[in-house]
Amino acid sequence: MGGRLVMRALGPGSVSSFLKVVLDVFYAVLCVAAGAVAVAIIAVLLLSFKPEILQSQVVIGDIDLHGPWIGPVIATTLLGADLYLAGSILIVGRLRRIFLTLIAGDPFDPDNVPRLRVIAATLAAQEVGRYIFAPVARLATHANSHFHLTGSVSLTAWFSVLVIAVLSEVFREGARLRGEAELTI
């Protein structure tokens, strides 16, 4: 018989271990990006005191910003991006901790329940933030811009929130059952 490749989901050397490394790298990239955006916010605000440095119109890709308040508008736009990155850092950080329990072979660690709840709440907050930011972005960008950030409802995002909320309850029940099993020795 030919050899079979069997991939384990849990424990050291498993798919969980690989995904944890990917999450670690992504977490570092998100932290660097959030730091860079924070520095850009400060730079834009400082440059807004010298309006001649920031031209009266800035075009970045499809985004066309113009007017006397260009510095604060750019800073506010960057703040929205930084808040989104902060939420992503929170989500990936919680996922990293969940994957540590998977590597340890303990998926029903009771601490995974609040981690999943935080992930669901953060995803929901990011989605609500998008609804708030979309009209502000439309007002701040030039009418002829090709930049379109819609505030429409994303069924995929809300489905993800619900799935993670249900998974948190599944993990809560698994942790409860594990706790009961440990008491009945």
For 59, phi then psi, to 5°, come to -120, 120
**Opening angle at CA 104, ends 98 and 110, nearest 5:** 50
List pLDDT tens digits, range 22-60.
999 999 999 999 999 999 999 888 877 776 665 555 555
Give the span between the Cα atoms of 5 and 32, in whole angstroms.
Answer: 37
Residues 85/147, Cβ–Cβ less than 8 Å: no
Q: State residue 62's pLDDT score.
A: 57
- Interatomic CA distance for residues 46 and 27, integer angstroms: 29
* Model confidence pLDDT, tens digit, residues 110-168: 999 999 999 999 999 999 988 888 776 666 555 444 445 556 788 899 999 999 999 99
| pTM tops 0.85, yes or no | no
Query: What is the band of 13 on the pLDDT scale with cuts at 50, 70, 90?
Result: confident
What pLDDT is stored for residue 73 in this prediction?
A: 75
Burial classification of residue 40, based on how many CB atoms lie within 10 Å of its CB (0-12 exposed, 13-18 middle, 19 or more buried): middle
Tell me which residue of 92, 113, 87, 84 sits closest to 22, measured CA to CA. Answer: 92
- Amino acid symbol at 69: W
pLDDT of residue 1 exceeding 50, the answer is no
| Residue 163 to residue 172: CA distance in whole angstroms | 14
